[in-house]
Amino acid sequence: MAATATEGPVVVTGGAGAIGAVLVRELLARGHEVRVVDNFSSGREAHLAGLPSGPGRLEVVRADLLRPDDYRSAFRGAVAVWHLAANPDIRLGTERPTIDLEQGTLATFRVLESARAADVPAVAFSSSSVVYGFPTVFPTPEEYGPLLPQSMYGANKLASEGLLSAFAHSYGLRAYIYRFANVIGPFMTHGILFDLFEKLRRDPNRLEVLGDGRQAKSYLRSEDCVGGMLFAFERAREVVNVYNLGSRDRISVREIAEKVVAAHGGRARIEYTGGDRGWVGDIPQQWLSIQRIERLGWRPTLSSAEAIDRTIQELARARGISG
Amino acid sequence: MAATATEGPVVVTGGAGAIGAVLVRELLARGHEVRVVDNFSSGREAHLAGLPSGPGRLEVVRADLLRPDDYRSAFRGAVAVWHLAANPDIRLGTERPTIDLEQGTLATFRVLESARAADVPAVAFSSSSVVYGFPTVFPTPEEYGPLLPQSMYGANKLASEGLLSAFAHSYGLRAYIYRFANVIGPFMTHGILFDLFEKLRRDPNRLEVLGDGRQAKSYLRSEDCVGGMLFAFERAREVVNVYNLGSRDRISVREIAEKVVAAHGGRARIEYTGGDRGWVGDIPQQWLSIQRIERLGWRPTLSSAEAIDRTIQELARARGISG
């Protein structure tokens, strides 16, 4: 039980990101020494503010994952690497396809090489439901194939999964691959709720929503996400362990938009841009089977609607909005 | 029917390799203008000797796929790119993991960028059964998952598949992904038959065979492989088209070794190194379902045993060996 035992430090790449910052808090709460490696391209120092820092607690290394020399020391003696760093913006990857190649596949390769060089026994990776492309089976199980991602972001998540698997089988480390539903919570810097709040801030009377509003997806709070990752990490013992992480249900974009408008007082008019996809690379229907991790004994505490509600409340409170 | 129509040139990367050279011949026979891009790291000029060369027929560009400037002109006006170039040596990739990253994933990315820049409407890619890792379903269908490759070679085949899919969906080209069984035929520079013949050349009395001999796989002649690729290319019309290509049966390593010894006069003693895997990264059991391409109307002409027999005969003849 390398993740929860305290016999050695744990590395979190992208530890200043939205999910990373929640994972770091949970690892610290469980008594771990945590070493964050982040280039702060999308992570924020503020996300780690106030945490117990220094040797034996939290250390933050500002480094680009493509330059292993700059973070080699952080991997030394580590009992696990949680590799969460990535470009979080799927649409940006379509405009500039090298971003996900470099911050996705190549960064993962360097992380795996560094883990191998430092004899780190386990690497966990934040993959995504987007590796399923447009699935035809709902809820989609881990066994679904073929995996035909629609976006550069998805292609590089799939590539990273393959690299984890090959490193695990070739060089004797254990791999954990988590395919996330839409993860929401504190520290967000992108995503549908962030976007909708931004739009209403600019124009409180009109809310443009991408697509026809019928896109429907599972949403998972980042605290649940982190809980599920750690739960499977402590119990699953295959060479490569693949788990979907999502809630048991889904919610439509229309419902989300209406909830956001209600939180803003209910006066904004919702306008749909139309079409079944919100944008190039969008996956309009996403609903993961979580039976595999449920069989391990884990369940999320919140439904998709509850996760959305809580996050809307937090965003509204942080921005001084009262519905 | 871009592949067989003669309305424009066709690019073949790795066209001097074992499968590429067969594809180039078939494309030329069908009246195509063919442009080979090869760095001759494992391809051989001799594989293309005697073919009709010059403008409108076969042009050979010696270039590294990681340097798009060196082959940009070859992509101009092309109606299809057949991307077959790769490191062919799975074991080498385990020793030096950057080889498959560079010659696999990164080369594929550059090829796709170049195809996109030149508005090439279709890209076909030689993937492999190794993307299935150690499958638990036999024969293994295209829908099998999760895809957990065992080798760097397999990881980078999977990564390339994902990149093809993402480019197809994001930028409007059509993608063809072929997952090959073990392809054998003329022009081979590696693989089990090549290895066994080499071993008997060095010591005619003793044949060391990696593993316990019970590894069993499907073998496909490269002429059948090329026929299947072109058949699906002409008929399949999804955005991303994924097809297994193999024979309908399989053959054990023990049977192959005995056939090779018989072709050498039958006197060599076969010695198995033991263990269920021949080497790290080996897939001991491989048997692809080819129902999907059979439903399109294609079938291989030879069984695995027939493909092995024919290739052994050719190798023996070329080396002046008479059993």
Which token pair is A211? 């697509």
Question: Which of B101, B145, B161 lies at the smallest CB-CB distance from A109?
Answer: B101
Going by pLDDT thresholds of 50, 70 and 90, the confidence category of residue B276 is: confident
**Pair (A108, A256) in one structural domain:** no
Least confident window among B124-128, B202-206, B265-269, B274-278 = B274-278
- What pLDDT shows up at residue A4? 44
Whether A105 and chain B come into contact, CB under 8 Å, resolves to yes
B244-268 mean pLDDT: 96
Task: Quickly tell me which residue has 């991790």 as its tokens.
Answer: A293
The rounded percent of chain B whose pLDDT value lies above 70 is 98
Residues in a beta bridge with A59: A35
**Axis crossing angle, helix B253-263 with helix B192-202, rounded to the nearest 10:** 40
The tens digit of pLDDT for each residue in A297-319 reads 999 999 999 999 999 999 999 99
Whether B184 and chain A come into contact, CB under 8 Å, resolves to no
Interface size between A and B, measured as CB pairs under 8 A? 133
The tens digit of pLDDT for each residue in B37-83 reads 999 999 999 999 999 998 889 999 999 999 999 999 999 999 999 99
Give the pairing of strands A174-180 and A240-245: parallel
Question: From its phi and psi, is residue B254 left (phi > 0), alpha (psi between -120 and 50) or beta?
Answer: alpha
A111-125 mean pLDDT: 98
Whether B133 and chain A come into contact, CB under 8 Å, resolves to yes
Cis bond leading into A146, ω under 30°?
A: yes
Which token pair is A273? 């841009």
- What pLDDT shows up at residue B275? 87
Report ipTM (2 d.p.). 0.94
What's the rounded Cα separation, in Å, for the pair B314 and B298?
Answer: 25
- What pLDDT shows up at residue B323? 64
What's the rounded Cα separation, in Å, for the pair B154 and B148?
Answer: 9
Task: Say yes or no to pLDDT of A73 above 90.
Answer: yes
Whether A131 and chain B come into contact, CB under 8 Å, resolves to yes
Whether B104 and chain A come into contact, CB under 8 Å, resolves to no
- What pLDDT shows up at residue B155? 98
Tell me how many helices (H) and strands (E) chain B has.
11, 14
Q: By CA distance, what is B155's nearest residue in A?
A: A162
Mind telling me how many Å the CA of A33 is from chain B's nearest CA? Answer: 31
* Residue B172 lies inside a defined structural domain of this protein: yes
Contact between A169 and B97 using a beta-carbon 8 Å cutoff: no
Q: Is B242 helix (H, G, I), strand (E, B) or coil?
A: strand
Whether B111 and chain A come into contact, CB under 8 Å, resolves to no
**Pair (A14, A42) in one structural domain:** yes
**Pair (B144, B256) in one structural domain:** no
C-alpha triplet B239, B243, B245: angle, nearest 5°? 155
* Residue B294 lies inside a defined structural domain of this protein: no
Going by pLDDT thresholds of 50, 70 and 90, the confidence category of residue A266 is: very high
Task: Say yes or no to pLDDT of A2 above 50.
Answer: no
**Pair (A71, A96) in one structural domain:** yes
Give the pairing of strands B34-38 and B58-62: parallel
| Mean per-residue pLDDT of chain B | 94
E strands within A145-279?
174-180, 182-184, 206-209, 216-217, 219-221, 240-245, 251-252, 269-272
**Pair (A88, A196) in one structural domain:** no
Whether A281 and chain B come into contact, CB under 8 Å, resolves to yes
CB A15 within 8 A of CB A60: yes
**Pair (A82, A93) in one structural domain:** yes
What DSSP string runs through A217-230?
A: E-EEEHHHHHHHHH
- Which residue range is the domain that position A276 belongs to? 185-217+249-286+301-318
**Pair (A199, A277) in one structural domain:** yes
C-alpha triplet B188, B189, B192: angle, nearest 5°? 80
- What pLDDT shows up at residue A323? 64
Task: Quickly tell me which residue has 């065992």 as its tokens.
Answer: B150
Q: Residues A78-99, buried b or exposed e (16+ Cβ, 10 A)?
A: bbbbbbbbbbbbbebbbeebeb
Task: Say yes or no to pLDDT of A57 above 90.
Answer: yes
- What pLDDT shows up at residue B273? 93
CB A248 within 8 A of CB A303: yes
Residues in a beta bridge with A78: none
Q: By CA distance, what is A161's nearest residue in B?
A: B148
Task: Say yes or no to pLDDT of B4 above 50.
Answer: no
- Residues with Cβ < 8 Å from B49, sequence gap 6 or more? none
A166-188 mean pLDDT: 96
What DSSP string runs through B253-320?
A: HHHHHHHHHHHTTS-PEEEE-BSSSSSTT--SEE-B--HHHHHHT---SS-HHHHHHHHHHHHHHHTT
Question: Which of A143, A149, A163 lies at the smallest CB-CB distance from B155?
Answer: A163
Whether B37 and chain A come into contact, CB under 8 Å, resolves to no
* Residue A191 lies inside a defined structural domain of this protein: yes
| Mean per-residue pLDDT of chain A | 94
Task: Say yes or no to pLDDT of B22 above 80.
Answer: yes
CATH number, domain of A312, equals: 3.90.25.10
Task: Quickly tell me which residue has 């629609």 as its tokens.
Answer: A150
- In B190-249, the residues whose Cβ lies within 8 Å of chain A are 240, 242
* Residue B132 lies inside a defined structural domain of this protein: yes
Residue A322: how many other CB atoms lie within 10 Å = 8
**Pair (B170, B127) in one structural domain:** yes
**Pair (B194, B114) in one structural domain:** no
- Residues with Cβ < 8 Å from B181, sequence gap 6 or more? B129, B217, B218, B219, B220, B244, B245, B246, B247, B286, B288
Contact between A159 and B162 using a beta-carbon 8 Å cutoff: yes
The tens digit of pLDDT for each residue in B100-158 reads 999 999 999 999 999 999 999 999 999 999 999 999 999 999 999 999 999 999 999 99
Contact between B166 and A146 using a beta-carbon 8 Å cutoff: no
Q: Is A68 helix (H, G, I), strand (E, B) or coil?
A: helix
Q: By CA distance, what is A146's nearest residue in B?
A: B143
The number of distinct structural domains making up chain A is: 2
B268-290 mean pLDDT: 88
* Residue B291 lies inside a defined structural domain of this protein: no
Q: Is A160 helix (H, G, I), strand (E, B) or coil?
A: helix
What's the rounded Cα separation, in Å, for the pair B18 and A151?
Answer: 32
**Pair (B226, B85) in one structural domain:** yes
- What pLDDT shows up at residue B189? 82
Query: pTM of the prediction?
Result: 0.95
**Pair (B228, B173) in one structural domain:** yes
Q: Is A25 helix (H, G, I), strand (E, B) or coil?
A: helix
CATH number, domain of A54, equals: 3.40.50.720
- What pLDDT shows up at residue A3? 44
Whether A51 and chain B come into contact, CB under 8 Å, resolves to no
Contact between B155 and A133 using a beta-carbon 8 Å cutoff: no
The tens digit of pLDDT for each residue in A208-224 reads 999 999 999 999 999 99
